[in-house]
Amino acid sequence: MRALTFLAHRFVAGDDIDDAIEAVRALNADGLKVTLDNLGEDSHDKAHALAAAEENLAMLRRIAQSGVDANISLKLSQLGMGFDDALAKESLLRIVAEAEKLKNFVRIDMEGSAFTQKTLDIFYSLHDAHPGVGIVLQAALRRTEQDCRDAVARKVRVRLCKGAYKEPDTVAFPDKKDVDANYDRCAEILAKAPIPAMATHDDARIEHALKAFDAAGLVKSDYELQMLYGIRGKRARELREKGHTVRVYVPYGTHWFPYFYRRLRERKENLLFIVRNFFE
């Protein structure tokens, strides 16, 4: 527990929205954009799900009031998906409507593979009427190449990440080299999507994506490179200095323990990655 508390101070921007806004200001001062995420997932009752929705609404309002450059990302299980899908969708619609009013953007995070199709179903059920919402896809999953093709066809804004969840081999690539190869294939496909966002700290993946975007005729304002708060900050600033749009994913909140514990427990690669980057 002490070790995780120590890590949390590096990779989480504090317990509340005030802490998070200050972290955003500091990143903005370096020319970096931000995605804010209130930590939490798997709400098991209506009260917690509704409280999570209110926090996301408050986030959007504080971003607007403070004038910082940030959008938000959320997990549908935090809004009740899993025990009341209708409640989750209703809350998501409220949040997206508030974002539209405030001229902001909402990204739906992807969770474990058991939720992938349900997340996409809810997302696509509202995307055409509310284009100011995007989705996350995980290169570790075997299905993701086709999901990227579907997203391009439907003009969806996608954040592509590798994926932090331990999944069965039947649905995910067990070897890193295969995940990397799928990431590269998906990046090439997403070059035809609106504002593709490459969420990775892997220089080889970044370079491959940049070559694919260049070949597709994209300029630097047509896509984003994204990294996690507290990880490879120097590299993020180097990329920004080269003219790329760089966005930092900034989590905050008191629910940091399950955020770290689940990922460190599920995959030893996650622990090695965090330890390597702690001493950047």
For the stretch 45-84, pLDDT in tens is 999 999 999 999 999 999 999 999 999 999 999 999 999 9
Sign, CA dihedral 260-262-263-268, equals positive
Q: How many distinct structural domains can be found in the chain? A: 1
User: In the prediction, which pLDDT does 5 show?
Assistant: 59
247-274 confidence digits (pLDDT tens): 999 999 987 766 666 555 555 565 566 5
Q: What is the pLDDT of residues 158-216, one digit of tens each?
A: 999 999 888 999 999 999 999 999 999 999 999 999 999 999 999 999 999 999 999 99
Q: In the annotation, is 159 catalytic?
A: yes
Q: Check 37, 147, 157, 159 and give the catalytic one.
A: 159
Residue 6 CB neighbours (<10 A)? 10
Q: What is the pLDDT of residue 23?
A: 96
Confidence label for 40 from pLDDT (cuts 50, 70 and 90): confident
User: Would you list the DSSP string of 208-236?
Assistant: HHHHHHHHTT--GGG-EEEEETTSSHHHH
Which residue matches tokens 């331990």?
166
Question: 3-state DSSP call for residue 34?
Answer: strand
Number of Cβ atoms within 10 Å of the Cβ of 120: 20
Candidates 109, 180, 205, 247; catalytic one? 109
CA atoms within 13 A on the CB side of 158: 29
Which range is least confidently modeled, 24-28, 33-37, 132-136, 264-268?
A: 264-268
Active site residue 128: no
Question: Residue 50: which domain range?
Answer: 2-278
- On whether the CB atoms of residues 197 and 172 are closer than 8 A, the answer is no
Q: How big is the CA angle at 116 (ends 150 and 130), to the nearest 5 degrees?
A: 60
Residues 103-137 have pLDDT tens digits of: 999 999 999 999 999 999 999 999 999 998 999 99
Task: Provide the percentage of residues in the chain whose pLDDT is more than 70.
Answer: 88
Q: What is the CATH number of the domain that holds 6?
A: 3.20.20.220
pLDDT at 259: 65
